[in-house]
Amino acid sequence: MLTPVLQKYKRPSYGSDYSLKFAILTPMDKVASVAPSERFVLRVKPLVESVYGPLGIDVDGVCDRIQTLLAPHLSNAARDLNPIDRWSQDDVLLITYGDSILRSDQKESPLRTLHDFLSNYLRDVLTGVHILPFFPYSSDDGFAVIDYLQVNPELGDWKDVGRIAEQFDLMTDLVMNHVSSQSQWFQQFKQGQPPGCDYFIAIDPETDVSGVVRPRNTALLCPVETPDGTQHVWATFGHDQIDLNFANPDVLLEFIGIILHYLNTGTKLLRLDAIGYLWKTLGSPCIHLQETHTLIKLIREIVALVKPDASLVTETNVPNRENLSYFGNRNEAHLIYNFSLPPLVVNALLQERSDHLKTWMMSMPPAPLGCAYFNFTASHDGMGMRPTEGLLEAEEYETFLRCMKAFGGEISMRAQADGSESPYEVNISLFDAMKGTAQGEDEWQIPRFLCSQTIMMSLEGIPAFYIHSLLATSNDHEAVQRTGRKRSINRHQWNYDHLLAQLQTPDSAQSLVLRDLSRLIQLRRQQPAFHPNATQYTLHLQPALFGFWRQSIGRDQSIFSIHNLTPRPQVLNLRDINLIGIDPWFDLISDTVIPEGMYEFSLPPYQSAWITNKVQAKA
């Protein structure tokens, strides 16, 4: 009944890594303009062979089935995009749930209400929207998907999704690693019926799985009654989220069909949720395995055949070096989440110094051509702590956790191999995380918060703003009590009428933050030096300042992005950034000219400056 192919783990030999051999044999520039059928043979079939050939599976048969699925959807635009043209400084995204804003009269669907808000307040501010899972689900606020092809009727329908996709680049979640225990597939498994009976992984409960990397502290194996007796199925994220068995190519085929549906209903960015855990091999950590990377390459090739301008985004909340591996050899993710950024930015503002943030930034390689960092400081999840491993000293780490608790946050734990627990993420509204410093709360919350967002949107990559950052939403402790889930603290649902009232009150936090961030975002979008792949160099300034230099791809614009991390005025010595040249210099943010011969530039508490030699536009 069950066909999980869990082989003995063998540590990969990176000297003979398949992706590197593949790149040498069939480099991108040699196949970019070939016919889709030829490209399939050159680029897709070898990937299928790499994953399923060693398992003794009929690779030709699998490829024939994939080609049959793709045939009605193949794009006439077979040529790859110029990597530099895939995005620009104009790209800025919003992250939101479909029901983050609700009308009390419920006369329209939440997705329609979201569309109204986006059209009225953010149409000229943002270019893309990540609507978090909008499918029927059983738990985890959408990430335990019951049906991948339906819109949750409590949110709206595909027309509502399409309406947003017509105005904004749509990012859609592809939750591949696991499915809801209430899904049809898992119900079939429990009844011993095809096809679901072969879609999951069951192993002997006595198997040693202590080496499996866990993001949760629940038991890895979930007992389930089936016609063949009690089966223990793999559940990385909890017992309502059952892992799928991609060693069965039928599961891959199911998801190719789902991908095609998403692309054909307006998806421009495909977010691969928790993708690092996709492949399981007994005796391994079951994270970042070579088969997982190969399947990402396979998905990328399929997307390129159908919608060449669509992009893959991998979500891997892990230490930085592991995260960077998902760029592959320019043949995996187009975008990777910059998971180290949120805790390091928050820590810099808590400690009022830039050393760890600067050290990390100096270690970050430029994204490969055709790839970019997906920058964020807040999301629907908590602030991941694993990306700080090896970056924060023990005392600072403890201070960080202490401050987050003092500002109303919660700490979520994960299980270690030895049975102990360690912090996995901090659950807190980013706005409230900025209530103070390591010295305690103060009156600088809004300027400090705006500084954190300005740092984020200035860095190499594409910036993404969580809706509750744009709206200066505080911790929702009532939601935590109501749901029993710590992550609910940062998943507030605004009443639309109440939100509008706050936005129309000039001195409310919501009005101040949305107005100032909207101005900064619009200003940023006009500057070529903020192209996602524009040059970036870290500046060596006094610890109270964090600065870096961006230069446009055409080298016609430079921007020195400087940020005061403290509640005290700081003076920037302009000689430290070699501010010389025949062009006049301006601070875009304060809209001031820097006179020739001026050597000191004063930054008020938490003030940022974008000092440039060429003004492109003013918001």
Tell me which residues are annotated as active site. Answer: 273
178 annotated binding-site participant? yes
The whole-angstrom separation of Cα 400 and Cα 371 is 32
Instruction: Give helix 290-306 / helix 59-70 axis angle, nearest 10°.
Output: 30
- Mark out the alpha helices in 71-210 (DSSP H runs): 110-117, 158-167, 184-191
**Phi, psi of 14, deg, nearest 5:** -70, -20
Residue 229, by phi and psi: left (phi above 0), alpha (psi -120 to 50) or beta?
Answer: left
- For 338-487, list the strands marked E by DSSP: 372-375, 383-384, 410-415, 421-427, 436-437, 440-441, 462-466
The whole-angstrom separation of Cα 600 and Cα 614 is 20
173 annotated binding-site participant? no
507 annotated binding-site participant? no
Instruction: Mention every residue, 6+ apart, whose C-beta is less than 8 A from residue 316.
Output: 274, 275, 276, 288, 322, 323, 326, 336, 337, 339
Instruction: Mention every residue, 6+ apart, whose C-beta is less than 8 A from residue 298.
Output: 44, 47, 48, 51, 252
Burial letters for 187-197: b for 16+ Cβ neighbours within 10 Å, e otherwise? ebbbeeeeebb
- For 403-512, list the strands marked E by DSSP: 410-415, 421-427, 436-437, 440-441, 462-466, 494-495
3-state secondary structure of 411: strand
103 annotated binding-site participant? no
576 annotated binding-site participant? no
Instruction: Give helix 249-264 / helix 290-306 axis angle, nearest 10°.
Output: 40
250 annotated binding-site participant? no
Pairing relation of β-strands 421-427 and 267-272?
Answer: unpaired
Please check whether residue 231 is in contact with residue 181, taking contact to mean a CB–CB distance below 8 angstroms: no
Please check whether residue 313 is in contact with residue 296, taking contact to mean a CB–CB distance below 8 angstroms: no
What is the DSSP secondary-structure string of 525-550? TT-GGGSTTSEEEE----TTEEEEEE
The whole-angstrom separation of Cα 599 and Cα 543 is 19
555 annotated binding-site participant? no
The whole-angstrom separation of Cα 36 and Cα 25 is 18
Nearest Cα neighbor of 448 from 540, 514, 513 is 513
The count of other CB atoms within 10 Å of the CB of residue 420 is 9
Half-sphere exposure of 195 (CA within 13 A, CB side): 10
583 annotated binding-site participant? no
Q: Which residues are annotated as a binding site for substrate?
A: 140, 178, 271-273, 380-381, 487
Q: Which residue ranges are tagged as binding site? A: 140, 178, 271-273, 380-381, 487
